[in-house]
A and B are shown apart, each in its own frame.
Chain A
Amino acid sequence: MGEDDHSRRPLSRLVRIERFLSARRFRVLSDFLALSFFLIVVIGPTIYVFFTVLDWNTIHTWVFADPFTGNTRWLMMLRALTVSFEIAGVATIVDIIIGLPMALILARYQFRYKKFVDTLVDLPMAVPTSALGFSLFLFWGTKEGLAGLLGMDRGLLSRGPLMVILAHVAFTYPYIVRSLKAIIIGIDETYEDAARTLGAPPITVLRSITFPLMTGGLLSGATLAFTRSLGETGATIILSGVYSTAPVLIVSWRQMLQIPPTAFLSVILVAIAIILTTIVRIVMRIQGGTLGRVWPSVERRLSRPSMRVARDTFVVVSFALIVLVPSVFIIDYMAGRLTGSPYTGRAESGVIYQVFLAPDQKWDALLDALVTSLRISVLATAINMAAGLPMAFAMIRRRWGMVKGILDFMIDVPLSVPTAALGFSFFLFWGSEGLNLIHPGFWLVAVVHIAFTYPYVVRTLMAVIEGLDPGVEEAAATLGAPPLTVFRTVTLPLLGPGMLAAAIMAFTRSLGETGATIVVMGLSRTIPVLIVDWVESLALPAASFACVILIVISYCLLLALRYLLGWE
């Protein structure tokens, strides 16, 4: 061997191992494992509930022909579904009305404090829904909130659909604004310029050019908000009063151990979710619509600067009053009664007494729940990162044709299935009714959390991987690196921030989840569930303390996420 024979010099041991592992059979193995994980851990249990209701006789007896109550359960189910749809529909419409102008302003105008406003818009995303529900209850429903400001001695609203709608508007608002803003930014502004040079005043441009260009995005953003609202449990449980929505009905029937009707209701919800996901798929491609009628003079009048002031006022007031202040009102509430009730001065109604001094040792329970919450979120996030990365790679880089289209669709399913129904389906799959492997408690909660955060991880990673420049990897390959070495030394470092972002997204979602947890928790408690418990037992100051802790953790994570993704 000559001295100039550099190319034959032995590779480092690590690279040799990586070259060995880069062989085709290992790649197939890794693809196989990623796919199996997705199908067995995520999708299988989610749709398992379909197979349990095949026993039509049981369902018929329980739901339609109970010997004592007849078809009462069916009627309850129908009513809950109707209420759910009505609430989700109204919340989505209100969201679009108040969210669209906000998205337009954030996407198209430059102003001071824009970054700050943008961060505030995201805030409700960081407030776990049970905390948000509780906060809204305090704001709208008690004399401590808005009513107090107006000098009334009882709350403005009582629990019921209206309050649930307000809560759903608040927590879906960031989703709507964020997706609309992204769509508007994606529209080439010069289309709007072109329309203006052709003689269209701003409102006409908005109607005839901007709207048609964003139809698909608007519909899919609306569907996202709609499904999130349809499947929400935490806030709804606190605010719905006697009007159950479908997820709340699942939770309460599950607690009464009425398995067959719960399964039936879950099937209906999962089916609805799958149908809605399909609609989004189709709708995303829609663009356009014709010009329709025009009213040049009216639109010219609406385009005047004075109207712009009116619009801005509307945006600010609606955001502050409906979304922002109610969501964080809880912090004010807690601060007001740290040491005791502001009215009676009794220490027993204060946060410090209730949490630290009272005989029922709430602090221990809180600490316990906090540890459980964190452990579950960490576990779910870590496992999803490990299983989601190869899956995301396979989805972007492999040529699987039709199969990929179907997988792509299935990844979104757990996103739109109401988490209570999803949790229940998992309970059936793993529990004594199914495989009899995992029983309600910590591990089942963890498995459920893995499933519903999986889409967040894979979707985010897919977006990042798609944005990678394959040229850099090709360069590394031409320099002699085997595929796995390229992955370790070039691809992974490039993925860094995106991976962290995916992890934080999954973590916050898991941390704030209520519905899925309640259904499968057994004796374990996470903080969102604890909040529901304490609100139900009327230990409001203690509940507010738990809320604030959860909000602080989530908000810090959200800020980190924004920083990592470099959002403006």
Chain B
Amino acid sequence: MTRFEEGPYLPEIEVVNVSKRYRSVTAIDRLNLSIGSGEYFTLLGPSGCGKTTLLRAIGGLVEPDEGEIHIEGRLVTGLSPEERGIGFVFQQFQIFPFMTILENVAYGPSIRGEDPSYAEKQVYEALKVVKLLDRADAYPKDLGAPGLQRCGIARALATGAQLLLFDEPMGAMDPKIKREFRYELRKIVKGQGLTAVHVTHDQEEAMVISDRIAVMRRGRIMQVGTPLELYYRPNSIFVANFIGEIDFLDGFCVGESEKGCVVETRGGLPLYTSDSCRKRGERLVVGIRRENFRIELGRKRGHDRLPGRVSRSVFVGPYVRHHVDLDNGYSVAVKEPSGMAHSLSPGEEVTAIFHPRDALVFEYPENLVDEMALD
């Protein structure tokens, strides 16, 4: 169940069977999507997955080859961008360099021939929302990346658009500033009661900012869900692998415990999971997130215990990552918070332990390598 179905949202954007091909490359492939009114929705995926093409198709900057797009119940395919009543925010800002900030923000209202006093009010409100009133007379070259993007948002707001499309809006910012800007962005959207569609390849950004996320790959949507759903209940190896850091073990379903399916992996190690029962003998893949492992010193046997030797330990700052070569030939990595991390040296015998509820179980795919590829 997606949050949209249970939540208070009315559909704002309906994407029905939309495809777009560039010569031989299919950018988006018969795609269906429904985004609710007032929702902060993110399209997440690796480069080239078609997320930007989809956003541009919603905005009218790309004409789909087939399919329909509805905005607020109105069929917009075939309409040019200026007829769609949307606001688009660009990665490289695209603040017109020869106009002041004020002129940039006033561009939308003035070319629509709005009543001057009304336009002035719109512009003032927009600048106030993004806190740029004091820089209104500056030229774009005098502003840094966050200032320029604030101007970009104000410019979109001033047209009165209720739907904002963000194309990697923080792609051109420094990591530190980016982290601050996320909250600001969400605050503006929520504060104005707008609907937002946001494109990014940064999964942390997507998790923090979104109500719901669509994970895309190769022109298709893999999964739509809230950040929690994507993290705890990914529907595919790709989604599990794309969000967070995870290690996979493969094996066969050998039976059932009181909690769920038991998978036997190489070396006869039993993995207890909380996944519902599967067919006995079915080939499965079990994924465990690196932060869900614990380390115990010495070799321990038993279910959900993976004995092996440390190959190296890496100090990353907030956490330590231990790479463990398991006795059965696999290797996994274990993330421990720096404050409570073991101090391990290469060759030391350890056991990686996890809780059955943290084991994510998937059917064994036709092509595991392809499924795990991050493109």
Interface residues of A (CB under 8 A from B): 188, 190-191, 193-202, 204, 208-209, 212-213, 287-291, 294-297
A195 to B111, CA, bound (A): 10
Q: Is the CB of A190 within 8 A of B98?
A: no
Nearest neighbor of A193 in chain B, beta-carbon distance: B61
Q: List 25 A-B contacts (CB under 8 A).
A: A190-B90, A193-B61, A193-B94, A194-B90, A195-B96, A195-B107, A195-B111, A196-B60, A196-B61, A196-B80, A196-B81, A197-B61, A197-B82, A197-B86, A198-B87, A198-B108, A198-B156, A200-B107, A204-B111, A208-B107, A212-B96, A290-B103, A294-B111, A296-B112, A297-B113
Q: Is the CB of B87 within 8 A of A291?
A: no
Beyond A194-B94, A200-B82, is A294–B87 a contact (Cβ under 8 Å)? no
A423 to B94, CA, bound (A): 49
Beyond A194-B94, A197-B61, A208-B111, is A291–B156 a contact (Cβ under 8 Å)? no
Q: Is the CB of B80 within 8 A of A198?
A: no
A196-B80, A197-B82 known; 16 new pairs, CB 8 Å cut-off, are A191-B96, A194-B90, A194-B155, A197-B59, A197-B84, A198-B155, A199-B85, A200-B111, A202-B80, A209-B96, A212-B98, A213-B97, A213-B98, A288-B97, A288-B98, A294-B113
Contacts of B87 in A (CB 8 A): 197-198
Number of B positions contacting A (CB below 8 A): 29
Please give the distance in Å from A110's CB to the nearest CB on chain B. Answer: 11
A193 to B108, CA, bound (A): 13
Q: Is the CB of A196 within 8 A of B82?
A: yes
Q: Is the CB of A201 within 8 A of B82?
A: yes
A522 to B107, CA, bound (A): 63
Please give the distance in Å from B108's CB to the nearest CB on chain A. Answer: 4
Contacts of B108 in A (CB 8 A): 198-199
B56-68 interface code vs A (CB 8 A; 1 in, 0 out): 0001110000000
Q: Is the CB of A197 within 8 A of B88?
A: yes
Contacts of A291 in B (CB 8 A): 99, 103, 107, 110-111
Beyond A199-B159, A287-B98, A288-B99, is A193–B110 a contact (Cβ under 8 Å)? no
Which of A196, A212, A290, A296 is the most central at the interface, judged by chain B CB atoms within 10 Å of its CB? A196
Contacts of B80 in A (CB 8 A): 196, 201-202
Please give the distance in Å from A71's CB to the nearest CB on chain B. Answer: 48
Q: Is the CB of A199 within 8 A of B82?
A: yes
Contacts of A288 in B (CB 8 A): 97-99
Contacts of B113 in A (CB 8 A): 294-297
Please give the distance in Å from A72's CB to the nearest CB on chain B. Answer: 50
Judge if B162 is at the interface, Cβ distance under 8 Å: no
Contacts of A190 in B (CB 8 A): 90, 92, 94
Please give the distance in Å from A417's CB to the nearest CB on chain B. Answer: 33
A198 to B84, CA, bound (A): 10
A521 to B91, CA, bound (A): 60
Contacts of A188 in B (CB 8 A): 92, 94
A290 to B94, CA, bound (A): 17
A197 to B111, CA, bound (A): 12
Contacts of B88 in A (CB 8 A): 193-194, 197
Nearest neighbor of B113 in chain A, beta-carbon distance: A296
Nearest neighbor of A289 in chain B, beta-carbon distance: B98
A291 to B100, CA, bound (A): 11
Please give the distance in Å from A250's CB to the nearest CB on chain B. Answer: 42
Please give the distance in Å from B331's CB to the nearest CB on chain A. Answer: 37
Contacts of A212 in B (CB 8 A): 96, 98
Contacts of B155 in A (CB 8 A): 194, 198
A193 to B96, CA, bound (A): 11
Which of B59, B92, B110 is the most central at the interface, judged by chain A CB atoms within 10 Å of its CB? B110
Contacts of A197 in B (CB 8 A): 59-61, 81-82, 84, 86-88, 156, 165
A396 to B278, CA, bound (A): 71
Q: Which of B93-135 contact A (CB under 8 A)?
A: 94, 96-99, 103, 107-108, 110-113
Contacts of B61 in A (CB 8 A): 193, 196-197
Q: Which of B158-173 contact A (CB under 8 A)?
A: 159, 165
Q: Which of B130-182 contact A (CB under 8 A)?
A: 155-156, 159, 165
